[in-house]
């Protein structure tokens, strides 16, 4: 069984409804107070509106040093439970048949709980390097919080030797993931009665042309690559996943908006992909629309994004995690994490945490107790290695 402290911490963390639309301050302040009570130095880096916060805590080395060392990174927000059919209260930890159920148990409060439970042990270890915790907000809506924390740490001159992002990987090292880029497009045409179509410009129909163009680009990536066989989906993907427009069946719509995303392989510049979308608009779509309505326009808005991540072979943190897990397989995944942000900040990073990503975001989300035990063992060995 996992330690009582890990179970207790997970129960506490799950009870905070930190769905991304909500504040995470109650959770962050609870963790802050618990760490400060043990003599740990804690910093909070709040969102611009003050409604949310990151937390950065440092367990110094035996000589008092706070520079270098390893950071354990986790996000505190979770996805909504709206419309999902849960068999238990999603914000109350429930054990059943070797599994712990609750929103965030897998993604990714289980990792955070295991780390916090081991703080007394970490403090007692004669470590020559510090150990840090980095807890962020709004990862699930585009990795919004972590950049603020990383920017502040850079201003402070903080140097980190490596980072472990504890996203659910079944405690297997993941050394690369795709980037994610989410965009909203608004197509502005001109309304008219549907019996007088030449007097209007149909925003839905032109949006449909652009959506088909996005699908054509996606098909080209699938057919022509580039490919990376170590990814579960070995090419860059593009999909349109939300759309709305129109007010009546007999009225040409003046507005249609839709959201699309693309997940780029490492080495594929997301700017280049978006440029292809916008070039089609400028060169083909808008000229046709403006023959019907001179003031037609198409707007793009970036909603969220996280950079791709690709750990260099032989990095010390990768070798350490491989040694501690005994796992040397090459694993790369399609989902995004904050690892790319740490890597951009110059911190060598690897992704490794308890739980299976297939259980994340679903009704009846859970983490296996055995996975938490594995995580505890891994983190304990990590502390000892320092």
**How far is residue 341's CA from residue 312's CA, in Å, rounded to a whole number?**
15
pLDDT-derived band at 1, boundaries 50, 70, 90: very low
Among the listed residues 263, 265, 275, the one whose alpha carbon sits nearest the alpha carbon of residue 300: 275
pLDDT-derived band at 2, boundaries 50, 70, 90: low
> Is pLDDT above 70 for 75?
yes
> Is pLDDT above 80 for 313?
no
DSSP assignment string, 176-219? EE-EEEEEEEEEE-B-EEGGGGGGSB-HHHHHHHHHHHHHHHHH
Among the listed residues 93, 31, 87, the one whose alpha carbon sits nearest the alpha carbon of residue 56: 31
Q: Kindly report the average pLDDT of the chain as a whole number.
A: 96
- Over residues 360-367, mean pLDDT: 97
- Over residues 215-242, mean pLDDT: 96
**How far is residue 107's CA from residue 308's CA, in Å, rounded to a whole number?**
19
Question: CB atoms < 10 A from the CB of 169, how many?
Answer: 24
Q: Out of 17, 107, 138, 139, which one is annotated catalytic?
A: 139
CATH class of 4-176+308-385: alpha beta
> Is pLDDT above 70 for 217?
yes
Residues in the chain: 386
The pTM of the full predicted model, rounded to 2 decimals, is: 0.90
In the prediction, which pLDDT does 54 show?
Answer: 98
Say whether 219 is catalytic.
no
Q: Which residues pair with 19 in a beta bridge?
A: 78
> Is pLDDT above 50 for 296?
yes
| CATH assignment, 179-306 | 3.30.70.360
Q: pLDDT digit string (tens) for 84-105?
A: 999 999 999 999 999 999 999 9
Among positive and negative, which fits the CA dihedral 43, 164, 320, 370? positive
Instruction: Check if the beta carbon of residue 365 is closer than 8 Å to that of residue 90.
Output: yes
DSSP assignment string, 16-57? S--BTTS--HHHHHHHHHHHHTTT-EEEEEE-TTSS-EEEEE
> Is pLDDT above 50 for 12?
yes
> Is pLDDT above 70 for 59?
yes
Lookup: tokens for 269: 């510049």
What residue spans in the chain does CATH classification 3.30.70.360 cover? 179-306
What residue spans in the chain does CATH classification 3.40.630.10 cover? 4-176+308-385
Q: pLDDT digit string (tens) for 26-55?
A: 999 999 999 999 999 999 999 999 999 999
Q: Reduced to 3 states, what is the DSSP secondary structure of residue 348?
A: coil
Among the listed residues 132, 113, 117, the one whose alpha carbon sits nearest the alpha carbon of residue 60: 132
In the prediction, which pLDDT does 258 show?
Answer: 98
Say whether 139 is catalytic.
yes
**How far is residue 30's CA from residue 297's CA, in Å, rounded to a whole number?**
48
In the prediction, which pLDDT does 149 show?
Answer: 98
pLDDT-derived band at 334, boundaries 50, 70, 90: confident
In the prediction, which pLDDT does 142 show?
Answer: 86
> Is pLDDT above 60 for 204?
yes
In the prediction, which pLDDT does 3 show?
Answer: 66
Instruction: Check if the beta carbon of residue 124 is closer than 8 Å to that of residue 21.
Output: no
Q: Out of 77, 228, 254, 359, which one is annotated catalytic?
A: 77
Instruction: Give the angle subtended at the CA of 225 by the CAs of 219 and 230, to the nearest 5°.
Output: 115
Among the listed residues 153, 142, 123, the one whose alpha carbon sits nearest the alpha carbon of residue 54: 153
Among the listed residues 222, 259, 223, the one whose alpha carbon sits nearest the alpha carbon of residue 237: 222
Residues 6+ apart with CB under 8 A from 371: 110, 170, 171, 354, 355, 356
């Amino acid at each position: 069984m996992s330690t009582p402290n890990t179970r207790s911490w997970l129960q506490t963390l799950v009870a905070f409804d930190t769905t991304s639309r909500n504040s995470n301050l109650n959770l962050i302040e609870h963790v802050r107070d618990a760490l400060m009570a043990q003599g740990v130095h804690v910093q909070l880096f709040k969102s611009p509106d003050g409604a949310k916060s990151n937390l950065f805590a440092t367990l110094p080395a035996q000589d008092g040093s706070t520079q270098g060392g390893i950071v354990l990174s986790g996000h505190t927000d979770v996805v909504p439970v709206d419309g999902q059919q849960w068999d238990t209260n999603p914000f109350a930890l429930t054990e059943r048949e070797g599994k712990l159920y609750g929103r965030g148990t897998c993604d990714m409060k289980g990792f955070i709980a295991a780390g916090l439970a081991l703080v007394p042990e970490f403090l007692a270890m004669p470590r020559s390097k510090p150990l840090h915790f980095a807890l962020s907000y709004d990862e699930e809506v585009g990795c919004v919080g972590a950049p603020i924390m990383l920017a502040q740490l850079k201003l402070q001159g903080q140097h980190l030797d490596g980072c472990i992002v504890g996203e659910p990987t079944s405690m297997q090292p993941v050394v690369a993931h795709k980037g994610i880029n989410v965009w909203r497009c608004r197509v502005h045409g001109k309304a008219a009665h549907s019996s007088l179509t030449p007097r209007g410009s149909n925003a839905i129909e032109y949006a449909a042309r652009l959506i088909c163009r996005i699908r054509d680009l996606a098909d080209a990536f699938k057919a022509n690559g580039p490919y990376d066989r170590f990814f579960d989906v070995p090419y860059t993907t593009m999909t349109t996943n939300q759309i709305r427009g129109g007010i009546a069946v007999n009225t040409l719509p003046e507005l249609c908006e839709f959201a699309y995303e693309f997940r780029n392989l490492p080495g594929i510049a997301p700017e280049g992909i978006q440029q292809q979308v916008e070039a089609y608009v400028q060169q083909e779509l808008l000229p046709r629309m403006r023959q019907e309505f001179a003031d037609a326009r198409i707007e793009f808005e970036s909603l969220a994004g996280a950079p791709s991540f690709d750990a260099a072979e032989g990095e010390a943190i990768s070798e350490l995690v491989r040694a501690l897990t005994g796992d040397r397989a090459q694993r790369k995944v399609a989902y995004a994490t904050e690892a790319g942000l740490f890597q951009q900040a110059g911190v060598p990073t690897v992704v490794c945490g308890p739980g299976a990503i297939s259980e994340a975001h679903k009704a009846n989300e859970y983490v296996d107790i055995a996975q938490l035990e594995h995580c505890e063992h891994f983190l304990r060995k990590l502390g000892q290695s320092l």
